[in-house]
Amino acid sequence: MFMKALNFIVYQVLSNETIFLGLVALIGLLLQRKKFPQVIDGTVKTIIGLTVLTAGAGVLINALSPVVNKLNTTLHVRGVLPTNDAVFGVVAKFNTIAKNTVITFLLAFLLHLVLVRLTHKEIFKNTYLTAHLALYHAAFMNVTIPTVLHTNGFWTIIIATILNAIYYTYSPAIPRKLSHDWMHDVSTLGFMDQVGSLLATGIGKVFGSKDPSQDADHLKLPKWATMFRDNTIMLFFLMPIIFIGIGLAVGRSGIENLIGGGADATNWILWLILEGFQFTAGIVILLQGVRMFIGSIVPAFKGISDKFLPGAIPALDAPTIFPYSPMGGMFGFLGSTVGCILVTFLTIIFHSPVIVFPSPIIMYFDGNVMGIFGNKAGGWRGAVAAGFITGMISSAAVILFYPLTGVCYGSGLTWSNIDYALVWMPLMYLLKWIRLGILALL
């Protein structure tokens, strides 16, 4: 009975980002003793803003995924697709691991809050509120740690809890420091890209330019081209080109199979163009939701931070930083798309033991984040380079960490995001080598 109640709280409430953050807003506003209409206004706009954001993300992923998945099947190879949501569904099928995932998630979040409360340095006072990613990551730890350390459930939970809490507490300080001049400590990044933001910044500095005229959002364009400063107009023309490019790689017959037969079926090129428009609409919806969500959650969170976590700011999901550099994010997305697809072809050409398919999560969400930090450090060239290089790293790292994922190995699904490549894959191998070293000494 207790586990059923716990599962309901975690899987139905806390892992539902909309409900979780709606509750955070409600509690924060009540703690500030706001008037009833203000409480309702802030809570509703937090929930609806996040719902709009999520709907926009769903529209753009639903537009991109079928074409990318068709590309994957067209290649006629068996491989792995990095996507957090889907691989979590695999873990949830194993009752014991799923139970341990819930316990790890709760304990890690509680320990994280304790660490935020105890730390004295302002830069580390960040509360990781991207609950669904924390749950997915708890699942990752519960399949990899037993594989590399051969631990039982108890020790897996203990080790995973400590490592996760440390990551949630201290990694958001990296993007907070890097973005101080343009995010002004309103919030920070709480995705799985925090360490990646440091790499993206370094790449931007190496391959880009600090010349303000090279900033992706302030490029000097001919008078006729100034309309492309508008993110919607730029995407309106750009995304159909990208979709047609992927469609040509798939081939006419593959796209027509995707559309479906019939005399009234849409022409395959026109269908690709319309999917590009659909993707653009998804981004417009997403950004509108971001503005509403941020405008409500940040003031509401102040009540919690003032009462329990003095000086803390929220660490939030990737789309919350997109408005800080819309064009930088788009350049990063373009670079990441090329990098991910290139890794797919390279793994096929060189007969890699693991064929890595392009991940829409890496290409769009990681690509945007990396592009924004790359652009802030080195303009549009920095954004493209950051997206391209981190996209390749994220995809290529799957070859190494996929075999460590225990019961998920062979499912064709695994975790995505750059920090799995930069933090968790090296850490898992380090733990494995420590265990083997100790066994050798014994």
Query: Is the residue at 15 inside a domain?
Result: yes
Residue 163 domain-assigned (yes or no): no
Contact between residue 86 and residue 413 where contact means Cβ atoms under 8 Å apart: yes
Residue 148 lies in a domain: no
Handedness of CA 223, 224, 228, 232 (dihedral sign): positive
Could you give the residue ranges of the DSSP H alpha helices within 193-261? Answer: 194-207, 231-250, 252-259
361-383 burial code (b ≥16 CB/10 A, e <16): bbbbbbbbbbbbbbbbbbbbbbb
Any domain includes 264: yes
**Distance separating alpha carbons of residues 392 and 415, to the nearest angstrom:** 15
The pLDDT, as a whole number, for residue 189 is 96
Q: Residue 317: inside a domain, yes or no?
A: no
pLDDT in tens, 269-294: 999 999 889 888 887 887 788 788 87
Asked if 297 and 190 touch (Cβ cutoff 8 Å), the reply is no
Nearest residue to 126 via CA among 173, 162, 165, 163: 173
pLDDT tens sequence across 127-186:
998 888 888 899 999 999 999 999 999 999 999 999 999 999 999 999 999 999 999 999
- pTM of the prediction? 0.82
Our CA dihedral for 246, 251, 255, 260, rounded to 10 degrees, sits at 180
Overall domain count for the chain? 1
Distances (CA, A) of 370 to 18, 216, 405: 25, 13, 26
Q: Which distant-in-sequence residues (6+ apart) come within 8 Å of 341 by Cβ?
A: 71, 358
* List of residues 6+ apart from 303 with CB closer than 8 A: 27, 28, 29, 30, 31, 32, 34
Q: For 357-404, write each residue's pLDDT tens digit.
A: 888 778 888 999 999 999 999 999 999 999 999 999 999 999 999 999
Bridge partners, residue 316, by sequence: 189
Residue 291 lies inside a defined structural domain of this protein: yes
Residue 14 lies in a domain: yes
Name the 3-class secondary structure at 283.
Answer: helix
Residue whose C-alpha is closest to residue 314's, from 110, 131, 121: 131
Q: Which domain holds residue 62?
A: 2-93+186-296+322-441
pLDDT at 432 > cutoff 90: yes
Angle value at C-alpha 401, between 144 and 175, nearest 5 degrees: 90
